[in-house]
Structure formats: C-alpha cells, structure tokens
Structure 1
C-alpha cells in the first residue's frame, strides 16, 4: 500500500513509459481481467453463496472494484468474479517490483521476528533443503539461514525480484517457475516447503497443496501461514480491513477447511497456531488504508487517470501529519490487543505445520 505521506521519487521517463503501458492495458478492455462470475463455492461446491463485501484496490488504488463472496455451507471466502492471469498481472505490477520494490522491501524487513517464529515451529533436525514459495525478495530465506546455516534454500516467485535474494546471499537457487510446474521435476526433493501468505493468492489452492506434497520427502514438513477470515476485525473494519488485501487475495480459507484439505492430500496436521500468529497492526493498518483511499495519492502513480496536483499533495501531507497522534494511539491499542489475542483463536493470521505422510506403494 503506497500510504506514506512522502512518496518516493519517480523517474520521469520511466513513469511516462509505465503510464503508456497502463493506458494500453485499460484500453484493451477490463473484461479480460475477470473470469465469469461463479454461482457455487470453489471449495466445497455448495450453491449457498452470497456477496459478503465489495472492495477497492486497497494496496495501490488502481481502478476497479472487487467482490468477496462467502459460502454459507463451509465458510470459505472467495473473490467473485475472480481475476484472470491477465488481471492479476495488471494489479500485481509495481506492487512488489518496479515502483513498489523498495516500499515492499522496507515492510518485509520488519517481519524478521515473525520469520524467526516460523522457524521455531519446526523443531527437530535442521532441514537439508528448504523451498520457499511466493518468496518475493527472499527475506524469509535470508532470516532463516542465519538460524539454519547448513540448510540449502530454494525460492520460487513469478517476479524477477527473487533473483535479488541470490545476489544478496539469502537464496541458493531462485526460479520464476509456477509451483505446480516446478513440482513435476523435483518430486521428493525437499525437507521443508514454506508457503507464507501464498495460498490466498492462487486460483486453486488445492492444486498448490498437491504440488507441495509432491515436492516433500516422506516426513517432510509444509509450513503454511494464511490470513484468518475469522478475525473479528474483518467485520469491524469493513472494506478497510487489511486482511482483504484486495484484489490480490483470491481466497480466504478458514483454518478448519485447510486442515481437512491437508489431511485428504497426504499430510498429517501437526500444529495449528491461531492467536499466536496474530500481527499487531489491525487498527493502524485500517486507518492507513482508509486514509490512502480517501486522500489524494502520494505521487502521480502511472495508473492514475491524471497527475496529482501540488495542492492535493499539500493536503495529503497536512492530513497525514495531523493523523499522527491517532495512528500512534491505534498502534498502541494494537500492541495491547495483541497480548490478549495471542492466547485466543481470533488473530488476523494462522499458521499450520503439516508433515507429509509416507506415500502408499502402488499395488504390484
């Protein structure tokens, strides 16, 4: 989310080129961004589905609105109509690379403590080979290899920024291959497969779980973290709840649903962490998301319909400055609530550790 009061400098020539690219995308038609609307739940197939909420692009304020539907049979939440690969590429662009590259990197650096907590969930012997899926810049691998210096780290991500992880010494092998394709050539090759806020953003989470099982040796571990759709803040904050991550999150999966899927697809669920996986930022993130949505943009981003006027920039800076005490209070409240939430089941995220059961030998 480009929500800071002061925007990063934008190369004028590069911004003009990007603006022309964004304009061409929109002129080609937004219908190609979406699949047809579904009339049943993609998780359980039930037809008892309804629109839960309509959302803007909460990260970059690109044009468009997005609906999250809820299944009354299993509780699954899903984007409907769902973005196509073309639509996802449009909304991902300049989010983790390009213009958004440094902003995301600065945010990811603050997750080091959470990454170390994930490693502690594993226990046992250090893994020989670890694959991180949806690795972005490779920050998880960078933090983890400090704790596990003998482990070989592989990373998958569709963006070329993942190769930064190799240059920085965080990642040993980086590929931009999709997980389901990568699994066909590396069956049984890994001791750990981590998917941190990855399954939410895939069109078919079940296929990704199958691929993870194929990649793991028997007894290997899948380490998964997801947004918790049962968080009380999902309703309290409405469309400004940060967990929606619209339009990038295609699915919000109740933890019971994912546990059942894992058991069906060759895993044994070893640990589930609900409150303990909470991140203390719900209120401050909701305020920043609301401000970002209602105020003029921080800069003349190339996807905007027109440049930001000087007076609009001054207004944004003034409101952001005036909001500082409220944001500080919201952050203090988040820290207080985190202490209470860590022992409950209502955090904004959950973690699952699942061990790969031995494969059954085919009949002779």
Structure 2
C-alpha cells in the first residue's frame, strides 16, 4: 500500500517567491515518492510568473504541478480569463454554450432541482444556458473574482458568492442548501481537489447531486494539457494544477460518501473530458476490525 499522504507543505519564507510554494517530494494524492518530471514549461505569453514543472506519480499516475502556486499565484491566474465580449463573439464561445446546455440536460433524468450552485462560475454563462433547460431552478454562483457579482447584476445568477467553496465561512453559510452543485473544469485548477469534493458534499442536500467535468489525462491530447504546447497558452501555461485519472477520482468520491450514478466522455473541444454525476449519500460506516486478541501482550 502507498504511504499515507503528508500535509501539503507551506509557502516559502516571505520574499523568496510569492507565487510558488516549496517543491514537494511526494504525491499529493497517494503519498508515494515515486515521482518523475513529466514536463517543464516557462512562463506564459501573458507573463504568468515562474517556470512550471509537472510531476507524475509512478504508483497512482496522478500528475500535478510541482511546486504548486501559492494563494497569490492562484488568484493571479483567476484574473487572467478572456473578456466577456471575446467569449460571446467567437465560435469557441458558441460551442461552449451548446456544451453547457448539453451538460444541463444530463440532469434531466433526476429529480428536478430547486436550487443549483455553479462553482467557479466566472461570468455565469453556464447558469444562463442551463436555465433554458431548467426554467424553474434557482441558480447561484460562486467564484473567487468579482466576475460573480457582475454575473448577478446581469441576471445570470440569483445569488453571488465571492470566494472559495473551501472557505469555512462560505461552507457554513451554504450548508445543505443545494440540490445540485456543478464544477466544470474546476477541480483540476484547485490546490486541493479532495477538499473541494468534501465541501461540495457539505453544501448539498441529502440525495443531492454533484455534476463534475474534468480533463482525461489518458487521452492522446492529455500530454499537451500540461505542456508548453497547450492550446490555452495565450492566457497562461500550464494551467491545470492536477490531472486526475478517472479511477482515482471515482474511488475518492466513493470514500467521501457519494454514489456515482453516471460517467461519460465529453468535451466541446480537446482534450477529452469526463462528465461525472454523483449522488450524495450517507457516509459509509467506519470499517470494523477483528476483535482484539485477549492473549496479546
């Protein structure tokens, strides 16, 4: 069995590097020390600070940026998205809107949601498109940038929350409030995907559903996702902090008390992605070991 993961290392001393943490020598997913460097990439054309390295675990195949960005580095990335007008005017934006409607229709076989939280909603384009499929659902949005407030002002969402889902104040405020929580290409950009899944479970109602889309690192295009030839290099590179094999993500969902009810491959453009729908259930009971041996010292 792989060793138990250690806590994530803290940031370097102030003044050393405000955008990157210390490099770690073990896998953040399984704790293994069998790491190999998969790719190195210099800073992107938009002057994202630092040279990035991506390591891959030899035991669980989890790939991750090492060292990872600090909170300031992550916030810098969140602010480097295309503008609203750019997304609305080009072909990619129209394809993305069609993809949003398809993703919203994936929830039609399940009970009609009264409330839906879109995590990392940005300008609120997914809730805007999903309302065409679920007209009686109240859509809220959460994002670390002021874009979420502009999305509320534009009427794309009803309630706006600026911050991170893992913030204790936000998690407590939204506890058991939503029938659906959606995360579209969000987990791979977070510092701790496991913490995001736990927080999503907290804000879901019993029997609520989590809708997740993540890139498939096993696809032929997956190597480019983390490398210097990534198509999104106009904004920063490499962008994902984590590339999680599907088996790892499904196992984690099960251990957190989710029942995975549907998975499929999907993507509006490369790389290929996985869409996962999981239902919030009661946490599985703690494993019961064999009774202690009374003769043991």
TM-score, normalised with respect to structure 1: 0.67
Checking the alignment, whether the CA contact within 8 Å between 2:256 and 2:283 is kept in structure 1 is: no
Aligned to 2:282: 358
Alpha-carbon distance in 1 for matches of 2:67, 2:258 = 31
Instruction: Name which structure has the greater RCO, CA cutoff 8 Å, separation 6+.
Output: 1
- Compare the two structures and name the one with the higher strand fraction: 2
Q: How does 1:1-364 map to 2 (within 5 A)?
A: 31-58=17-44, 60-93=46-79, 95-96=80-81, 100-104=83-87, 106=89, 107-122=92-107, 123-181=109-167, 182-235=170-223, 239-242=228-231, 246-274=237-265, 277-280=266-269, 282=270, 348-358=272-282
Residues 59 and 227 (structure 1 numbering): CA distance in 2 closer, same or farther, change over 3 Å? farther
**More moved, 183-192 vs 128-137:** 183-192
- Using the alignment, how far apart are the partners of 1:96 and 1:239 within structure 2? 18
Checking the alignment, whether the CA contact within 8 Å between 2:24 and 2:66 is kept in structure 1 is: yes
- CA gap of 1:59–1:121, structure 2 versus 1, over 3 A, is farther
Question: Larger % of helix: which?
Answer: 1
Please name the residue that 2:292 is paired with.
none
Tell me the secondary structure at the aligned position of residue 62 of structure 1: coil
RMSD: 2.5
Shift of 1:234: 3.0
Aligned 8 A contact 1:141 1:170 in 2: yes
Change (3 A) 1:269 1:57: farther
Where does structure 1 lack aligned partners over 5 or more consecutive residues? 1-27, 283-346
Deviations along 1:279-327, one digit per CA (max 9) or x if unpaired, are 33x4xxxxxxxxxxxxxxxxxxxxxxxxxxxxxxxxxxxxxxxxxxxxx
Q: Tell me the number of residue pairs that the alignment of Structure 1 and Structure 2 aligns.
A: 265
- How does the TM-score come out when normalised to structure 2? 0.81
Of structures 1 and 2, the larger Rg is shown by 1
- What per-residue deviation string (whole Å, max 9, x for no partner) do you get for residues 221-266 of structure 1? 0000011111102347853133796343211111111101000001
How far the C-alpha of 1:125 sits from its partner, in A, is 2.6
- Structure 2, unmatched stretches of 5+, are 1-13, 287-297
Measure, in 1, the Cα distance between the counterparts of 2:45 and 2:268: 18
